[in-house]
Amino acid sequence: MKHLVSMKQLTEAEIMGILDRADVFKKYGIRELPGKYFVSNLFFEPSTRTKMSFEMAERQLGLDVLPFEASFSSVLKGETLYDTVKTLEAIGINALVIRHLEDNYYDQLINRTSVSIINGGDGSGQHPTQSLLDLFTIREEFGSFKGLNVLIAGDIDHSRVARSNADALKKLGANVTFLCPTEWAGEFDSVSEWDEVIGQSDVVMLLRVQHERHEEESVFTNNSYHEQFGLTETRAKMMKEHAIIMHPGPFNRGVELADSLIECSQSRIFKQMENGVFIRAAVLEAVLKGRN
Protein backbone atom coordinates (compact mmCIF):
# COMPACT_ATOMS: atom_id res chain seq x y z
CA MET A 1 0.00 0.00 0.00
CA LYS A 2 1.84 3.09 -1.22
CA HIS A 3 -1.00 5.56 -0.51
CA LEU A 4 -4.06 5.74 1.74
CA VAL A 5 -6.61 8.21 0.41
CA SER A 6 -10.01 6.53 0.86
CA MET A 7 -11.64 3.71 2.81
CA LYS A 8 -13.06 2.50 -0.51
CA GLN A 9 -9.58 1.36 -1.57
CA LEU A 10 -9.17 -1.01 1.41
CA THR A 11 -10.32 -4.61 1.44
CA GLU A 12 -11.74 -6.15 4.60
CA ALA A 13 -8.43 -7.99 5.10
CA GLU A 14 -6.43 -4.78 4.75
CA ILE A 15 -8.65 -2.98 7.26
CA MET A 16 -8.29 -5.80 9.78
CA GLY A 17 -4.53 -5.89 9.22
CA ILE A 18 -4.21 -2.21 10.12
CA LEU A 19 -6.42 -2.70 13.20
CA ASP A 20 -4.33 -5.68 14.27
CA ARG A 21 -1.08 -3.72 13.91
CA ALA A 22 -2.52 -0.81 15.89
CA ASP A 23 -3.49 -3.30 18.60
CA VAL A 24 0.11 -4.52 18.79
CA PHE A 25 1.34 -0.93 19.09
CA LYS A 26 -1.16 -0.22 21.85
CA LYS A 27 -0.25 -3.31 23.84
CA TYR A 28 3.52 -3.32 23.37
CA GLY A 29 4.48 0.18 22.28
CA ILE A 30 5.16 1.79 18.93
CA ARG A 31 8.44 0.54 17.51
CA GLU A 32 10.80 2.67 15.48
CA LEU A 33 10.95 1.88 11.78
CA PRO A 34 14.34 0.75 10.47
CA GLY A 35 15.79 3.06 7.86
CA LYS A 36 15.47 6.82 7.42
CA TYR A 37 12.24 8.41 6.25
CA PHE A 38 11.26 12.05 5.86
CA VAL A 39 7.62 13.07 6.26
CA SER A 40 5.65 16.28 6.44
CA ASN A 41 2.10 17.21 7.42
CA LEU A 42 0.40 19.60 4.98
CA PHE A 43 -2.73 20.93 6.66
CA PHE A 44 -4.65 23.55 4.70
CA GLU A 45 -7.57 23.44 7.16
CA PRO A 46 -7.46 23.76 10.96
CA SER A 47 -6.86 20.58 12.91
CA THR A 48 -5.94 19.54 16.43
CA ARG A 49 -6.59 15.79 16.84
CA THR A 50 -5.56 14.59 13.38
CA LYS A 51 -2.48 16.77 12.97
CA MET A 52 -1.12 16.28 16.46
CA SER A 53 -1.76 12.53 16.60
CA PHE A 54 -0.03 12.08 13.23
CA GLU A 55 2.95 14.00 14.53
CA MET A 56 3.03 11.97 17.74
CA ALA A 57 2.88 8.74 15.74
CA GLU A 58 5.61 9.95 13.38
CA ARG A 59 7.97 10.81 16.20
CA GLN A 60 7.36 7.51 17.98
CA LEU A 61 8.14 5.69 14.73
CA GLY A 62 11.45 7.57 14.61
CA LEU A 63 10.61 9.48 11.42
CA ASP A 64 12.16 12.83 10.53
CA VAL A 65 9.28 15.33 10.49
CA LEU A 66 9.75 18.47 8.42
CA PRO A 67 7.43 21.26 9.60
CA PHE A 68 5.03 22.88 7.13
CA GLU A 69 2.70 25.81 7.75
CA ALA A 70 0.45 26.81 4.85
CA SER A 71 0.24 30.39 6.14
CA PHE A 72 4.04 30.75 5.78
CA SER A 73 4.46 28.84 2.52
CA SER A 74 4.48 29.71 -1.18
CA VAL A 75 0.78 28.82 -1.24
CA LEU A 76 0.28 32.50 -0.36
CA LYS A 77 2.10 33.37 -3.58
CA GLY A 78 -0.24 31.24 -5.67
CA GLU A 79 1.63 27.93 -5.67
CA THR A 80 -0.67 24.99 -6.45
CA LEU A 81 -0.94 21.90 -4.27
CA TYR A 82 0.63 19.84 -7.04
CA ASP A 83 3.63 22.15 -7.26
CA THR A 84 4.02 22.13 -3.47
CA VAL A 85 4.07 18.33 -3.48
CA LYS A 86 6.53 18.19 -6.39
CA THR A 87 8.79 20.64 -4.55
CA LEU A 88 8.80 18.45 -1.45
CA GLU A 89 9.39 15.38 -3.59
CA ALA A 90 12.43 17.09 -5.14
CA ILE A 91 14.02 17.78 -1.76
CA GLY A 92 13.59 14.19 -0.59
CA ILE A 93 10.29 13.84 1.27
CA ASN A 94 9.03 10.23 1.35
CA ALA A 95 5.45 10.69 2.58
CA LEU A 96 2.95 13.49 3.07
CA VAL A 97 -0.12 13.67 5.26
CA ILE A 98 -2.45 16.15 3.57
CA ARG A 99 -5.68 17.79 4.69
CA HIS A 100 -7.28 19.96 2.03
CA LEU A 101 -10.58 21.76 1.55
CA GLU A 102 -11.09 20.29 -1.94
CA ASP A 103 -12.86 16.95 -2.36
CA ASN A 104 -10.65 14.31 -4.01
CA TYR A 105 -7.59 16.59 -4.10
CA TYR A 106 -5.45 13.45 -4.23
CA ASP A 107 -6.63 12.54 -7.74
CA GLN A 108 -4.18 15.08 -9.16
CA LEU A 109 -1.29 13.65 -7.12
CA ILE A 110 -1.11 9.90 -6.66
CA ASN A 111 -0.11 9.00 -10.24
CA ARG A 112 2.15 12.01 -10.71
CA THR A 113 4.49 11.86 -7.72
CA SER A 114 6.76 9.32 -6.07
CA VAL A 115 5.76 10.67 -2.65
CA SER A 116 3.30 8.56 -0.65
CA ILE A 117 0.05 10.40 0.11
CA ILE A 118 -2.00 9.83 3.27
CA ASN A 119 -5.32 11.64 3.24
CA GLY A 120 -5.85 13.55 6.47
CA GLY A 121 -9.28 14.68 5.25
CA ASP A 122 -10.51 16.07 1.95
CA GLY A 123 -13.38 18.56 1.98
CA SER A 124 -16.59 16.59 2.48
CA GLY A 125 -15.08 13.48 0.92
CA GLN A 126 -13.06 10.99 2.96
CA HIS A 127 -11.17 10.75 6.24
CA PRO A 128 -9.71 7.23 6.27
CA THR A 129 -7.58 7.37 9.41
CA GLN A 130 -10.52 8.74 11.43
CA SER A 131 -12.64 5.87 10.17
CA LEU A 132 -9.92 3.36 11.09
CA LEU A 133 -9.58 4.69 14.62
CA ASP A 134 -13.36 4.59 14.97
CA LEU A 135 -13.34 0.96 13.82
CA PHE A 136 -10.51 0.17 16.23
CA THR A 137 -12.48 1.70 19.11
CA ILE A 138 -15.63 -0.23 18.18
CA ARG A 139 -13.72 -3.52 17.85
CA GLU A 140 -12.11 -2.98 21.27
CA GLU A 141 -15.62 -2.70 22.71
CA PHE A 142 -17.51 -5.42 20.85
CA GLY A 143 -14.86 -7.73 19.37
CA SER A 144 -16.38 -7.73 15.88
CA PHE A 145 -18.65 -5.74 13.59
CA LYS A 146 -21.08 -8.35 12.28
CA GLY A 147 -24.65 -7.37 13.07
CA LEU A 148 -23.80 -4.27 15.11
CA ASN A 149 -26.28 -1.42 14.79
CA VAL A 150 -24.42 1.86 14.30
CA LEU A 151 -26.31 5.15 14.35
CA ILE A 152 -24.54 8.16 12.82
CA ALA A 153 -26.29 11.43 13.64
CA GLY A 154 -25.53 14.98 12.56
CA ASP A 155 -24.42 16.93 9.52
CA ILE A 156 -24.24 13.89 7.23
CA ASP A 157 -24.03 15.60 3.84
CA HIS A 158 -20.91 17.61 4.76
CA SER A 159 -19.17 14.87 6.73
CA ARG A 160 -16.13 13.01 5.40
CA VAL A 161 -16.32 10.91 8.59
CA ALA A 162 -19.85 9.74 7.73
CA ARG A 163 -18.81 8.73 4.21
CA SER A 164 -15.67 6.90 5.33
CA ASN A 165 -17.44 5.05 8.12
CA ALA A 166 -20.45 4.15 5.97
CA ASP A 167 -18.17 2.47 3.43
CA ALA A 168 -16.11 0.62 6.03
CA LEU A 169 -18.80 -0.45 8.49
CA LYS A 170 -21.05 -1.89 5.80
CA LYS A 171 -18.07 -3.74 4.31
CA LEU A 172 -17.42 -5.29 7.73
CA GLY A 173 -21.03 -6.39 8.26
CA ALA A 174 -22.47 -3.67 10.50
CA ASN A 175 -25.87 -2.07 10.01
CA VAL A 176 -25.60 1.70 9.57
CA THR A 177 -28.43 4.19 10.07
CA PHE A 178 -28.21 7.95 9.51
CA LEU A 179 -30.16 10.50 11.51
CA CYS A 180 -30.27 14.16 10.48
CA PRO A 181 -32.46 16.95 9.17
CA THR A 182 -33.81 15.82 5.79
CA GLU A 183 -31.95 18.59 3.96
CA TRP A 184 -28.62 17.41 5.43
CA ALA A 185 -28.88 13.78 4.29
CA GLY A 186 -27.20 14.24 0.90
CA GLU A 187 -27.04 10.93 -0.98
CA PHE A 188 -27.87 8.87 2.12
CA ASP A 189 -31.22 7.51 3.26
CA SER A 190 -31.92 8.87 6.73
CA VAL A 191 -34.39 9.06 9.57
CA SER A 192 -35.27 12.17 11.55
CA GLU A 193 -36.75 10.76 14.75
CA TRP A 194 -34.58 9.42 17.58
CA ASP A 195 -37.36 7.24 18.99
CA GLU A 196 -37.18 5.00 15.91
CA VAL A 197 -33.54 4.02 16.39
CA ILE A 198 -31.99 4.96 19.74
CA GLY A 199 -33.13 1.83 21.61
CA GLN A 200 -31.69 -0.54 18.97
CA SER A 201 -28.29 1.13 18.53
CA ASP A 202 -25.05 -0.38 19.80
CA VAL A 203 -23.00 2.64 18.75
CA VAL A 204 -24.26 6.23 18.67
CA MET A 205 -21.84 8.41 16.72
CA LEU A 206 -22.46 12.15 16.74
CA LEU A 207 -21.09 14.51 14.09
CA ARG A 208 -20.33 18.22 14.35
CA VAL A 209 -22.57 20.72 12.58
CA GLN A 210 -20.16 22.11 9.97
CA HIS A 211 -21.36 25.67 9.62
CA GLU A 212 -18.32 26.55 7.49
CA ARG A 213 -19.50 24.21 4.71
CA HIS A 214 -23.09 25.44 4.58
CA GLU A 215 -23.81 27.88 1.78
CA GLU A 216 -26.96 29.13 3.52
CA GLU A 217 -27.35 30.06 7.16
CA SER A 218 -28.76 27.24 9.24
CA VAL A 219 -32.38 27.46 10.32
CA PHE A 220 -31.35 25.91 13.64
CA THR A 221 -30.12 27.64 16.74
CA ASN A 222 -27.80 25.63 18.97
CA ASN A 223 -30.67 24.97 21.35
CA SER A 224 -33.20 23.99 18.70
CA TYR A 225 -30.74 21.65 17.01
CA HIS A 226 -29.89 19.99 20.31
CA GLU A 227 -33.54 19.49 21.17
CA GLN A 228 -34.42 17.97 17.76
CA PHE A 229 -31.28 16.19 16.61
CA GLY A 230 -28.78 16.15 19.48
CA LEU A 231 -28.16 13.38 21.97
CA THR A 232 -29.85 14.79 25.06
CA GLU A 233 -29.64 13.33 28.55
CA THR A 234 -33.20 12.03 28.13
CA ARG A 235 -32.37 10.24 24.89
CA ALA A 236 -29.20 8.79 26.38
CA LYS A 237 -31.30 7.07 29.03
CA MET A 238 -33.06 5.18 26.21
CA MET A 239 -29.78 3.64 24.98
CA LYS A 240 -28.87 0.01 25.52
CA GLU A 241 -26.84 -0.55 28.67
CA HIS A 242 -23.83 -1.69 26.65
CA ALA A 243 -24.13 0.96 23.91
CA ILE A 244 -21.32 3.49 23.45
CA ILE A 245 -21.20 7.15 22.45
CA MET A 246 -18.66 8.37 19.91
CA HIS A 247 -17.73 11.69 18.28
CA PRO A 248 -14.76 12.44 15.98
CA GLY A 249 -14.33 15.93 17.42
CA PRO A 250 -14.19 18.78 17.73
CA PHE A 251 -17.52 18.69 19.54
CA ASN A 252 -19.88 21.52 20.34
CA ARG A 253 -20.98 20.99 23.93
CA GLY A 254 -24.73 21.17 24.28
CA VAL A 255 -25.32 21.01 20.53
CA GLU A 256 -24.54 17.54 19.12
CA LEU A 257 -24.65 16.06 22.59
CA ALA A 258 -25.27 17.16 26.13
CA ASP A 259 -22.21 18.39 27.99
CA SER A 260 -22.72 15.78 30.70
CA LEU A 261 -22.44 12.93 28.18
CA ILE A 262 -19.00 13.78 26.80
CA GLU A 263 -17.20 12.03 29.66
CA CYS A 264 -19.97 9.76 30.91
CA SER A 265 -19.42 6.02 31.45
CA GLN A 266 -20.73 5.16 27.97
CA SER A 267 -18.61 7.74 26.16
CA ARG A 268 -15.57 6.61 24.19
CA ILE A 269 -14.76 10.04 22.77
CA PHE A 270 -11.38 10.51 24.44
CA LYS A 271 -10.60 6.82 23.87
CA GLN A 272 -11.01 7.52 20.14
CA MET A 273 -8.42 10.28 20.41
CA GLU A 274 -6.00 7.97 22.24
CA ASN A 275 -6.48 5.28 19.61
CA GLY A 276 -5.75 7.74 16.83
CA VAL A 277 -2.02 7.64 17.58
CA PHE A 278 -1.83 3.85 17.27
CA ILE A 279 -3.90 3.74 14.09
CA ARG A 280 -1.88 6.50 12.43
CA ALA A 281 1.36 4.79 13.38
CA ALA A 282 0.06 1.58 11.79
CA VAL A 283 -0.94 3.44 8.61
CA LEU A 284 2.38 5.26 8.36
CA GLU A 285 4.26 1.99 8.82
CA ALA A 286 2.16 0.23 6.16
CA VAL A 287 2.54 3.05 3.64
CA LEU A 288 6.28 3.51 4.15
CA LYS A 289 6.95 -0.23 3.99
CA GLY A 290 4.74 -0.36 0.90
CA ARG A 291 7.20 1.90 -0.89
CA ASN A 292 9.91 -0.78 -0.82
On whether 228 is known to bind a ligand per the annotation, the reply is no
On whether 226 is known to bind a ligand per the annotation, the reply is no
The distance in angstroms from the start CA to the end CA of the chain is 10
Nearest to 183 by CA among 162, 158, 201: 158
Summarize the chain as % helix, strand, coil (round to 5).
Answer: 45, 15, 40
On whether 250 is known to bind a ligand per the annotation, the reply is yes
* HEC letters along 235-252: HHCCCCCCCEEECCCCCC
On whether 253 is known to bind a ligand per the annotation, the reply is no
On whether 249 is known to bind a ligand per the annotation, the reply is yes
CB count within 10 Å of CB 215 equals 4
On whether 130 is known to bind a ligand per the annotation, the reply is yes
On whether 234 is known to bind a ligand per the annotation, the reply is no
On whether 268 is known to bind a ligand per the annotation, the reply is no
State the virtual CA torsion across 231, 232, 233, 235 in degrees, nearest 10.
-70
Annotated binding site: 49-50, 77, 99, 127, 130, 160, 208, 249-250
Annotated binding site for carbamoyl phosphate: 49-50, 99, 127, 130, 249-250
Annotated binding site for L-aspartate: 77, 160, 208
